[in-house]
Amino acid sequence: MSTSCDMLVFGGTGDLALHKLIPALYHLHRDRRLNPDVRILALARQELDRDAYLALAERHCRAQVAQADFQSETWRDFAQRLDYFPLDATQRSEFVRLAHHLGQQDGRIRVHYLATAPRLFRDIASHLESAGLAGQASRIVLEKPIGHSLDSALEINEAIGQVFAESRIYRIDHYLGKETVQNLMALRFANALFEPIWRAGHIEHVQISVSETLGIENRGGYYDQAGAMRDMLQNHLLQLLCLIAMEAPGRFDAKSVRGEKVKVLEALKPITGMDVLDKTVRGQYTAGRIGGHDVPAYYFEKNVDNDSDTETFVAVQAEVDNWRWAGVPFYLRTGKRLAKKSSEIVLTFKPVPHMLFQNGQVNRLVIRLQPEESISLQLMAKAPGKGMQLEPVELDLNLAQAFHQTRRWEAYERLLLDVIEGDSTLFMRRDEVEAAWHWVDPILKGWQEHYRKPRPYPAGSDGPEQAHQLLERKGFRWWQ
């Protein structure tokens, strides 16, 4: 059971709070993992009273939580922890009001979760400080994206760092809270099998694909300014790349794990000049069909400019310039409104040095993060019958089945508990975020300098043709 604390959710009426944070806290409550004394205070500008907020939160929670896991009685019990406080985060005086509302409680842990636009981070941190709400027992959680460029990320980190010590700042990347993502570390560092071949001499190339069927829902205003590069690649995909490419940390703790990840980010080969055109592909969805429904083109989505050139798809050929990975391409791609929802990492091994059989292929390790969590190793085997007819077969490990799992923990459940317990291993350190921006910034600038409209792709397809060509040039194909 967790430590007790006050959890303040700024942006309490936003998508993130209602779709992810409140349902995650509900699950923690239902599974009796939250200390009975944990209080949750949602804050936002809207003038709602407590009952109106509870009704709003319940409606969303019902929609997000599986039917079998939602019980009205449990909700009523959970709702006793929940309160709402209208607050304009740009006004210092409002935080004084907040401090009065919370009362003085020396030593009690206070988690300030900023589920707001990054432009409010600086104001909120400084107002918390002046209202006496940023003391030693307080922590701050920042949602990605931290800024929209290296400069803005530096500014945010600097401003937050003036108020909170780095050890009390939790920069969340919810991909790190996913069970399978943590399993990547178990796979690599708890099994002797893979380590000797986990390197350039044996691995031909790596693919990291995160595809979504969802569009941008109600987030047009944010997304149109961000695009797939800032929304997904700069954080989630680069974090996955780090876990695949990092060296074994000395210990499984925040300092060692994050230290190894930063080294990977710093070793990423810069993509600059005309390479930006050769090694990256931007796409934008046009009208199409997904799951039997017609969906509109991106530029017809709510709060999106009609002539928007924001990318809803991005593919990049990256390289990690170090001894382990020199020369191995890492292909990253992510997009909205694609044919299926899936996140997969595929390591393709080099062919055997001398092939005895006609139809030999290569070995692949396929790590599926979602929808189902599994790890499978593609091996070549002889098909039954006459002759040496080879076919790929899969050695499959379904993690949910292996552990007789009834319900998968949502990433936010794990991460919220970690914040309450003060464990920052699965959060991004300041230098990690900055190193990621350091690599992404020249690509964003290159896109402006050598302007090209994003490549159109129909909703429900697997992205623009140019993303396939990126691999075909080297004789590879995206794993289907």
Question: Would you name the residues annotated as active-site residues?
Answer: 236
Nearer to ligand BG6, 10 or 223 (CB): 223
- CB 464 to ligand BG6: min, Å: 19
Instruction: List the strands of the sheet with 109-114, edge to edge.
Output: 82-86, 39-44, 5-10, 109-114, 138-143, 169-172
d(CA 449, CA 440): 15
Distances (CA, A) of 201 to 190, 261, 295, 327, 479: 21, 21, 45, 10, 21
Does 341 appear as a known binding residue?
yes
- Using CB positions, name the residue nearest to ligand BG6: 231
Nearer to ligand BG6, 214 or 274 (CB): 214
410 binds ligand BG6 (CB under 6 A): no
- CB 153 to ligand BG6: min, Å: 16
Does 336 appear as a known binding residue?
yes
Query: x/- string (CB under 6 A) for ligand BG6, residues 343-382?
Result: x---------------------------------------
Helix, strand, coil percent content, the chain, rounded in steps of 5: 40, 25, 35
Sequence-distant (6+) residues with CB within 8 A of 307 are: 299
Nearer to ligand BG6, 212 or 462 (CB): 212
Does 212 appear as a known binding residue?
yes
Does 231 appear as a known binding residue?
yes
Q: What is the DSSP string of 275-334?
A: HHHHHEEEEEEESEEETTEEE--GGGSTT--TT----SEEEEEEEB-STTTTT-EEEEEE
Nearer to ligand BG6, 1 or 214 (CB): 214
- CB 51 to ligand BG6: min, Å: 30
Report which DSSP code applies to 118: G
d(CA 72, CA 74): 5
- CB 331 to ligand BG6: min, Å: 18
Task: Enter the tokens of residue 163.
Answer: 């108020």
Does 174 appear as a known binding residue?
yes
Give, as ranges, the residues between 187 and 226 that touch ligand BG6 (CB under 6 A): 212, 214
Nearer to ligand BG6, 226 or 328 (CB): 226
Nearer to ligand BG6, 127 or 236 (CB): 236
| Phi and psi, residue 232, nearest 5° | -125, -50
Q: Under a CB-based contact definition with an 8 Å cutoff, are residues 219 and 336 in contact?
A: no
| Contact residue for ligand BG6 among 58, 94, 179, 231 (CB under 6 A) | 231
- CB 216 to ligand BG6: min, Å: 7
Which residue type sits at 283?
G
Query: x/- string (CB under 6 A) for ligand BG6, residues 234-273?
Result: ----------------------------------------
Sequence-distant (6+) residues with CB within 8 A of 137 are: 106, 107, 108, 109, 110
- CB 310 to ligand BG6: min, Å: 12
d(CA 436, CA 274): 20
Binding-site size for ligand BG6 (CB under 6 A) equals: 5
What's the number of CA atoms in the CB half-sphere (13 Å) around residue 265? Answer: 27
Annotated binding site: 45, 144, 174, 178, 212, 231, 336, 341
Interface positions with ligand BG6 (CB under 6 A) = 212, 214, 231-232, 343
Give binding residues for NADP(+) as ranges.
45, 144
Instruction: Report the binding-site residues for substrate.
Output: 174, 178, 212, 231, 336, 341
